[in-house]
Amino acid sequence: MSGKLALITGLLGVIWLVAMVVIGGASWEGYDHVAQYISELGANGAPYGWHVSWLGFFPIGVLTCAFAGFGWMAAPRSVLATLGFIGVFLFSIGYVGSAFFRCDFGCRPDNPSLSQVMHELVGLSGYLFAPLTLLLLGLAAWKWPGAMWLCVLSFVAAAGALVGLSGIADPTAPEVGLYQRVLEASMLSWIAACALYLGLQRKTAAP
């Protein structure tokens, strides 16, 4: 049962996020996916910022947090897997935090509000640990039945997350939005793949 729930929550969370970014970006004339943060879509003062925060970030966070829990229950138990799913949970909390603590307009204020400060703190831990999280999950998946493809994907995603993390270190960089999306895509691709493994492939995997 936990495998099916991991499949549903994981895939739905990923699909919801992609839809939010696409629809939110299309609804804001002049929004630049390469240069702007995803959080800017839900910022105070942004077009449809409230809707993006509470109809986008909040349910996405709830779904991906749920995936982290169901994934941990469904996956073969190990210290590495436990630490990895804790990392996924921390990453997912960033989405929930983005709803409660919306960033200031533009997300790069000279005098940040308390909401901006909390927004950065909540999201930072998940981003900082994303490469390590994916590396730990790759090492854990090495011993999962029929999961060698997921193990390889984890290592590739960890490298992508590291590239993305290095790129968002400078918020003034003209491609900061692109680097953030590389980081997000690295984690989300793993979530989708793991959800499929736990919900479908593991049923036929050898014991």
- Rounded CA gap, 53 and 57, in Å? 5
Query: Model-level pTM?
Result: 0.92
For residue range 154-204, what is the model confidence (pLDDT) as tens digits? 999 999 999 999 999 888 889 999 999 999 999 999 999 999 999 987 555
* 140-175 as b/e: b if 16+ CB within 10 A: bbbebeebeebbebbbebbebbbebbebbeeeeeee
Concatenate the DSSP letters of all residues of 5-25 into one string: HHHHHHHHHHHHHHHHHHHHH
Structural domains of the chain, count? 1
Q: Which domain holds residue 90?
A: 2-204
Which residues does the chain have with pLDDT short of 50? 205-207
